[in-house]
Amino acid sequence: MTSSTLATVPMERILELVARFDTRGPRYTSYPTVPAWQGELGEDAYGDALGACRAAARPVAVYLHLPFCPKRCWYCGCNSVVTQKPDRMKRYVAAVEQEIALLGERFGGPMDCAHLHLGGGTPTHLPVDLLGRVIDRLSEQFPPAAQAERSVEVDPRNSSDEHLAALHARGFRRISAGVQDLAPEVQQAVGRVQPLELVRAFVDRARASGFQSVNLDLIYGLPKQTEQSWAATLEAIVALSPDRLACFGYAHLPARMKHQRAIDESTLPTAEQRLRLLLQANRFFTDQGYQAIGMDHFARPTDELSLARRDGRLWRSFMGYTTLRGLELIGVGCSAISELERLFGQNEPDPDRYAERVEAGESAIVRGHYLDDDDRYRKALISELMCNLEIRPEAIGERLGLPVPADIPAAVDALAPYAEEGLLEPVKAGYRVTEVGQLFLRNFAMPFDRYLTEQNRKVFSRTV
């Protein structure tokens, strides 16, 4: 079969492909994936990795996790904690400031920051003065490099004009807001009510505050979603002219996330209905002029992500898609992940236990993974696939100066059935993913994952 654009492939054909190839597997937002990590890291190992980062004398990326929310959204898969207690938030911010001070000691001074991102939870659930205080402290240790990017995830329901002004004054120009779905019956079913008027007012206020990129997040596969209600949501969202869009699939894992048990499983879309919602969004956004980025993002053709994707420069870290390839990432706050040249490290996930560790002068890191040369090779290959839609094993080895692992040719051969169906097209020394093939990116990555067979008890979400 020759390759075709997604919009021209009959729905029946796509359903048939999904019926054959859909399975469960990792999302590959990192490699090795978090469940495959070796476990505890020695204190010296993390310190040595930070020292190597300092010696490289390059700007870093920084992620700050602010976990608190005013109310639980039942679909949520983030590390978030519901609280209304000011003292709890103050204690957490104080612990973050202590962690920043410890990082300063290990680095031996400030480190320029090329990208600062605030996530959660809901960063704007913090009082304005507390949010400003922690950003200012972070900026002392990680001052912005030239043309640095600063971005933040917010809830439009509790992001006041004062929050927006405080963020803008501190250099934030990119803001992302969770919408998920605009149908009232869906919002009621997931415990997150925010009418279109509220979202529209937020977008207007963010732009009036000086944010140059206003981005909106949606979720397909939620309870009570229908193609008709979803179409109305998509049309209303595009009418707001967001600069970027994210469209994530809902992962219903109530055994792991107990709050998801509040969702009535009988109201969830079937596998076929869910796929139709995904394709509906993909076709609608591309028809409206947005470019598909990776698995679940869309951007305007002039956006830097679209330009990087066309030039083969797109990259992904734990903060999402980026044009800043190769930055080492410093995670700050509970559950935050640091992604260094040869090491992953994750902080204590619980905010109170995190505060206890930091207050006691201990490292916040509780687990991680050393990357050997095999890990580094596969990480680069899978990242190139997930971002720039290419599989070129020899080119990866040449770029890194590493040998191609012995099993890689067999992994490439395992992709032949996908190529026969037009999901991959042969190119010099490898494959390129077709537009329809983008639905199956996770499938293409799985043969290259040397840890996958060790995770047979792990419950992954569906790949499509």
Q: What is residue 385's three-state secondary structure?
A: helix
Distance from C-alpha of 306 to C-alpha of 299, rounded to nearest angstrom? 6
Lowest average pLDDT, out of 40-54, 61-75, 401-415, goes to: 40-54
Give residue 3's pLDDT. 41
Distance from C-alpha of 204 to C-alpha of 426, rounded to nearest angstrom? 46
Give residue 457's pLDDT. 55
5-23 tens-digit pLDDT? 677 788 889 889 988 888 8
For CATH 3.80.30.20, list the domain ranges present in the chain: 36-331
Taking only Cα atoms into account, the Rg of the chain, rounded to an integer number of angstroms, comes to 22
Higher pLDDT, residue 415 or 22: 415
428 pLDDT exceeds 90? no
201-251 tens-digit pLDDT? 999 999 999 999 999 999 999 999 999 999 999 999 999 999 999 999 998
The arrangement of secondary structure in 36-331, i.e. its CATH architecture, is: Alpha-Beta Horseshoe (3.80)
Q: Yes or no: say if 377 and 402 are a contact pair by the CB < 8 Å rule.
A: yes
Q: What CA–CA distances, in Å, run from 160 to 156, 170, 206, 216? A: 8, 16, 10, 17
Lowest average pLDDT, out of 89-98, 122-131, 160-169, 306-315, goes to: 306-315
Please compute the mean of the pLDDT values over residues 182-186 and round it to a whole number.
98
Give, to the nearest 10 degrees, the angle between helix 128-141 and helix 86-107. 10
pTM, two decimal places:
0.93
What is the pairing mode between strands 315-317 and 320-322?
antiparallel
How many of the other CB atoms lie within 10 Å of CB of 238? 18
Give residue 4's pLDDT. 44
Q: What is residue 303's three-state secondary structure?
A: coil
Rounded to 5 degrees, φ, ψ at 365 are -70, 130
- Percent helix, strand and coil across the chain, each rounded to 5? 45, 20, 35
Q: Yes or no: say if 110 and 57 are a contact pair by the CB < 8 Å rule.
A: no
For CATH 1.10.10.920, list the domain ranges present in the chain: 1-32+373-455
Sign of the torsion formed by the C-alpha atoms of 82, 88, 89 and 94: negative
Beta-carbon-side half-sphere exposure of residue 426 (alpha carbons within 13 Å): 8
Residue 80 burial class via C-beta count within 10 angstroms: exposed 0-12, middle 13-18, buried 19 and up = buried
| Mean pLDDT over each residue of the chain, to the nearest integer | 92
264-306 tens-digit pLDDT? 999 999 988 999 999 999 999 999 999 988 878 999 999 999 9
Q: For the domain bounded by 1-32+373-455, which CATH number is listed?
A: 1.10.10.920
Going along 270-328, which residue ranges are E strands? 291-293, 297-299, 315-317, 320-322
